[in-house]
Chain A
Amino acid sequence: MGLLNKLDDPYEGGGIVLGKVEELLNWGRSKSDWYLHFGLACCAIEFMAMNASHFDFMRFGTIPRTSPRQADFIMVTGTVTFKMADRIKILYEQMAEPKYVISVGSCSNSGGPYWEHGYHVLKGIDLIIPVDVYIPGCPPRPEAFEEGMIQLQKKISQQAIFNKRKKLGIE
């Protein structure tokens, strides 16, 4: 983003970077997101592949956490059933602000293949918690995970911290 471009050539301005505090904070926030991995079903296997050698999810600055209290965003990968839905709500509420949600795969977006006759499947995670980024696919390819992560980073870096109703301008 804008801040990085200024850092590219440190000698131009004598190593001085001019920017807003919000920009600096957002730059840090968006490039080191820790996530609570909520692996539920098939998408979680694809997410394991995403974490492993070929795709290396950690290059986005993400670190998997197993506790919601240390996480910046929650990654819901898979089918959410009614038995599970209460737990997701509890875990989401335990996270510290600011918090984000990525919904991965058709099932957690909308119920997916189980939308019609799935008597025990929640038809979309957005019925119980707010979702920031939806990643479509059944299961999504690792490239889709990358795109979803980029979208989340974009969203975070445009967020105003001090005046919350305002959106930062896009450079």
Chain B
Amino acid sequence: MSEKKRLDLEYSQLDSDRMRINVGPQHPSTHGVLRLEVEVDGEIVTEVVPHLGYLHRSFEKHCERMTYPQITPYIDRMDYISAMNNEWPYVMALEKMLDIKVPEKVEYLRVIVAELNRIANHQIAVATFGLDAGAFTPFLFYFRDREYIIWILEKLSGARLLYNYFRVGGVSGDIYPEFKEEVLNVVKQVRKTNEEVMNLLIYNSIFVKRTANVGILTPEVAINFGCSGPVLRGSGIAHDLRRDEAYSVYDRFDFDIPVGKGEVGVVGDCWNRNMVRVHEMEQSCRIIEQALEQMPMEGDVKAMIPKRIKLPKGEVYMRAENPKGDLGFYIVSNGTDKPERLKARGPSFVNLSVIPEISKGYMFADLILILGSIDIVLGEVDR
């Protein structure tokens, strides 16, 4: 048999069935321990089945066994990239139940640390998204800047990543003398790096070719799937709880809500979702600058913290704008110092559920980008 003929025979015997590939749970581009069972036809994705629970740490069980102040560290460990933002809705829910008026200075301090943490979160999100697309330099740039933010938060709270900073009626640490100056320096640095990354990554033609028109999420599907945060805003819907519900002192600041405009590609694709995050960093910088100007520098941040927290009987659902979307806490209290039931509605959990819907029909390599553009954190998905 000649060489040619032998090859033909082999090609004809090739299996033309669809193939099932397992991605994860330990895979560098699943952003944690997510497992995706992917069915591919050649290189085209035909079905995605996510398997969760590889980081299920029994969060809700712990909440039923812990007193209210003890729960805060566990909430930090849900979305460990933006711990400050996580604590906020929980603390707000307790304050609403206990009817505590938070001092003005604390409100501004909370806004500043939450926005700093939001910048840090988006820096990781954009950096790892670049990493998924094959760009390594933005990762180094952003992690250099993120360290400056972490140093400020460390000086305030004492921890680098999981802060346990928010207390009912206050925060655990007061500002230090150079606080204002350092925050302004960080803001300057964030803007400078963003400008660099704009040229280096965002408008880079290779990056645009990889991410534009990929993983299109239409607004109707996004709302039906309960998406929130940059995923929903990337689809062109200006839904932001900081403005819609204006909790805390957010109604005193002047800021825009960036939405996907389809500048490159179409509204709702990976590029636009990512772009929303880059713009949001700029808006956070604006909020921080205004908050620093308006913040009263005098006052005790621990004055309103109650000695013992005992909630009245009742229940509350409180949500706030996490960097990843609407984070909600549903707390049922039975009148003791421990909650009867605490359910956390994690934005990553809900945003991730859209993956099987939007990744069908794209290349396998695009699936990694779609996952990266949703910006999940598995601690919150699995809790």
Q: Do chains A and B touch in the complex (CB under 8 A)?
A: yes
User: Considering the complex, which residues of chain B in the window 67-114 have a beta carbon less than 8 Å from any beta carbon of chain A?
Assistant: 73-74, 77, 80-81
User: Considering the complex, which residues of chain A in the window 109-155 have a beta carbon less than 8 Å from any beta carbon of chain B?
Assistant: 113-114, 116-121, 138-139, 141
Query: Given the complex, which residues of B lie within 8 Å of A119, measured CB to CB?
Result: 58, 61
Asked if residues A46 and B54 are in contact (CB atoms below 8 Å), the reply is no
Interface residues on B, range: 20 to 34
* Selected contact of B26 from candidates A38, A45, A52, CB within 8 Å: A38
Bound-state CA distance A84–B62 (Å) is 20
Say yes or no: A83-B53 contact (C-beta < 8 A), given A39-B32, A49-B146, A113-B73.
yes
- Total number of A residues with any Cβ neighbor in B under 8 Å: 33
Bound-state CA distance A86–B54 (Å) is 11
Query: Given the complex, which residues of A lie within 8 Å of B135, measured CB to CB?
Result: none
Q: Is B28 an interface residue (CB 8 A)?
A: yes
Q: Is A66 an interface residue (CB 8 A)?
A: yes
Asked if residues B144 and A45 are in contact (CB atoms below 8 Å), the reply is no
Say yes or no: A83-B56 contact (C-beta < 8 A), given A45-B81, A46-B160, A113-B74.
yes
Bound-state CA distance A20–B155 (Å) is 49
Q: Is A168 an interface residue (CB 8 A)?
A: no
Q: Is A24 an interface residue (CB 8 A)?
A: no
Asked if residues B55 and A79 are in contact (CB atoms below 8 Å), the reply is yes
Bound-state CA distance A42–B144 (Å) is 19
- Of listed A38, A79, A91, residue having the most chain B CB within 10 A: A79
- Min CB distance B29 to A, Å, is 10
Q: Is B379 an interface residue (CB 8 A)?
A: yes
Question: What mask results when residues 4 to 15 of chain A are scored 1 for a CB within 8 Å of chain B, else 0?
Answer: 000000000000
Asked if residues B162 and A84 are in contact (CB atoms below 8 Å), the reply is no
Query: Given the complex, which residues of B lie within 8 Å of A120, measured CB to CB?
Result: 56-58
Asked if residues B124 and A45 are in contact (CB atoms below 8 Å), the reply is yes
Q: Is A40 an interface residue (CB 8 A)?
A: yes
Asked if residues A45 and B161 are in contact (CB atoms below 8 Å), the reply is yes
Asked if residues A66 and B56 are in contact (CB atoms below 8 Å), the reply is no
* Selected contact of A53 from candidates B28, B147, B150, B378, CB within 8 Å: B147
Asked if residues A48 and B53 are in contact (CB atoms below 8 Å), the reply is no
Query: Given the complex, which residues of A lie within 8 Å of B25, measured CB to CB?
Result: 84, 87
Query: Given the complex, which residues of A lie within 8 Å of B140, measured CB to CB?
Result: 52-53
Bound-state CA distance A114–B379 (Å) is 13
Asked if residues A42 and B147 are in contact (CB atoms below 8 Å), the reply is no
Q: Is B203 an interface residue (CB 8 A)?
A: no
Asked if residues B54 and A121 are in contact (CB atoms below 8 Å), the reply is no
Q: Is B65 an interface residue (CB 8 A)?
A: yes
Query: Given the complex, which residues of B lie within 8 Å of A52, measured CB to CB?
Result: 139-140, 143-144, 147
- Min CB distance B293 to A, Å, is 30
Asked if residues B54 and A42 are in contact (CB atoms below 8 Å), the reply is no
Query: Given the complex, which residues of A lie within 8 Å of B62, measured CB to CB?
Result: 113-114, 117-118
Asked if residues A42 and B379 are in contact (CB atoms below 8 Å), the reply is yes
Bound-state CA distance A41–B55 (Å) is 7
Q: Is B153 an interface residue (CB 8 A)?
A: no
Bound-state CA distance A38–B28 (Å) is 9
Q: Is A26 an interface residue (CB 8 A)?
A: no
User: Considering the complex, which residues of chain A in the window 67-85 have a beta carbon less than 8 Å from any beta carbon of chain B?
Assistant: 78-79, 81, 83-84
- Min CB distance A143 to B, Å, is 10
- Min CB distance B2 to A, Å, is 38
- Min CB distance B378 to A, Å, is 7
Asked if residues B147 and A41 are in contact (CB atoms below 8 Å), the reply is no
Bound-state CA distance A84–B32 (Å) is 12
Query: Given the complex, which residues of B lie within 8 Å of A45, measured CB to CB?
Result: 80-81, 124, 161
Q: Is A164 an interface residue (CB 8 A)?
A: no
* Selected contact of B160 from candidates A66, A79, A141, CB within 8 Å: A141
* Selected contact of A79 from candidates B26, B57, B147, CB within 8 Å: B57
User: Considering the complex, which residues of chain B in the window 123-152 have a beta carbon less than 8 Å from any beta carbon of chain A?
Assistant: 124, 139-141, 143-144, 146-147, 150
Bound-state CA distance A132–B73 (Å) is 29
Q: Is A54 an interface residue (CB 8 A)?
A: yes
Q: Which residues of B contact A (CB under 8 A)?
A: 25-28, 32-33, 53-58, 61-62, 65, 73-74, 77, 80-81, 124, 139-141, 143-144, 146-147, 150, 160-162, 378-379
Q: Which residues of A contact B (CB under 8 A)?
A: 37-42, 44-46, 48-49, 52-54, 66, 78-79, 81, 83-84, 87, 91, 113-114, 116-121, 138-139, 141
